[in-house]
Amino acid sequence: MRSNELRTLGLALAALTLVFAAACGDDDNPGTDVDGGVGDGGGEVCMPGARECDGSDVVECAADGSGFTVVETCAESACMDGECTVSAGIESLIADPPVVDEGSDTIVQLSASHRAAPTEFSWRQTGGPARGLGGRSAEGATLDVSDIEVGSDTVFTFELTTTTDTGSAMATDTETVEVVVRAVDLVPARPESVARPSPPPSSSRARGAGSSTTRAAASTPPTAARTRATASTSAPTSTTSTSSRSRGRSSRSSRSAPRASAWSTSATSRRWRSSASWA
């Protein structure tokens, strides 16, 4: 009796095992590989629409579940076994840092595109002075930062994060781009020459009588200056004799005056005598 009970229990367990195998795959030769796909002895069975990575290619399961076909190739070797963590990477980012000149009208424009859709873009400034974005973030595929002024050549670093809905998971990628903002030396315009006004009388008195006389002569009208020059030229002979000339010249000039008087007297006498003799 106990043997019959054991035999019945064994048949029940065998039936349960067959039911479980039928639910997992084909009844003839079921088999399960490591990633959950079920092999049916000839072709690969997959979930319709599912995506996986095959090297640098992205493969997608056909609508009838018959197998995978290549639908996309990663820009970089960013695919991993299992889920595709990065589907396409970020395109249109400039490898060399762009260089722009500073100024209030300068606009730094960074643009990115993603081959997979839909994709969300988020920009954040991670390097450089706290200008532009600062600690804030900006949405959209294009980033515009204006009114950047620097004292010297400065590197600004921006980080772009993309989020893509692959259908089975959300894939994210982060890239960094740098922008060099070059300082511009603005040479100020040379001011026009402006005549200096004459100082007030109080300042000339404070500097002494000599300087005040010089400034008074400089500000004297031309007619008065000529009058003073004439007066100094027609100075008396005594003033000339006390100048910087040598004493010899001064004595000669003083002796020449009596001679001229004697000569004129003698000439007058001769003329008078001459006229008297004619009479």
22 pLDDT more than 60: no
Q: Find the helix or strand (DSSP H, E) in which 16 lies.
A: helix 2-24
Give per-residue pLDDT as tens, 72-123.
Answer: 765 544 444 434 443 333 333 333 455 656 555 555 666 665 555 556 778 8
Residue 61: domain span:
35-85
DSSP secondary structure of 81-94: SSS-S-SS--BS--
Higher pLDDT, 194 or 236: 194
How much is the pLDDT for 179? 78
Is there a domain that residue 197 lies in?
no
Positive/negative CA dihedral, 139, 140, 143, 145? negative
CA–CA distance, 225 with 49 (Å, rounded to integer): 109
What is the share, in percent, of the chain residues with pLDDT greater than 70?
23
Q: Looking at the structure, do residues 78 and 127 belong to the same domain, yes or no?
A: no
Counting the structural domains of the chain, the total is 2
Q: Looking at the structure, do residues 75 and 128 belong to the same domain, yes or no?
A: no
How much is the pLDDT for 63? 81
Q: Return the closest-CA partner of residue 251 out of 259, 261, 241, 243.
A: 241
Write the CB contacts of 201 (distance below 8 Å, at least 6 apart in sequence). 212
Is there a domain that residue 58 lies in?
yes
Is there a domain that residue 164 lies in?
yes
Higher pLDDT, 213 or 68: 68
Q: Looking at the structure, do residues 71 and 104 belong to the same domain, yes or no?
A: no
Is there a domain that residue 142 lies in?
yes
Q: Return the closest-CA partner of residue 153 out of 204, 116, 102, 202.
A: 102
Residue after which a domain boundary falls, among 159, 182, 205: 182
85 burial via Cβ count (<10 Å: 0-12, 13-18, 19+): middle
SS3 135: coil
Higher pLDDT, 218 or 129: 129
CA–CA distance, 171 with 220 (Å, rounded to integer): 91
Residue after which a domain boundary falls, among 151, 182, 213: 182
How much is the pLDDT for 140? 73
Is there a domain that residue 224 lies in?
no
85-94, 164-173, 195-204, 243-252, range with greatest mean pLDDT: 164-173
164 pLDDT more than 70: yes
Assign residue 125 the CATH number of its domain.
Answer: 2.60.40
How much is the pLDDT for 102? 58
The stretch 20-40 carries a mean pLDDT of: 33
Give per-residue pLDDT as tens, 232-246.
Answer: 334 444 444 444 444
- The separation between CA 219 and the C-alpha centre of its own chain, rounded to angstroms, equals 53
150 pLDDT more than 70: yes
Higher pLDDT, 242 or 159: 159
Residue after which a domain boundary falls, among 155, 182, 209: 182
How much is the pLDDT for 114? 56
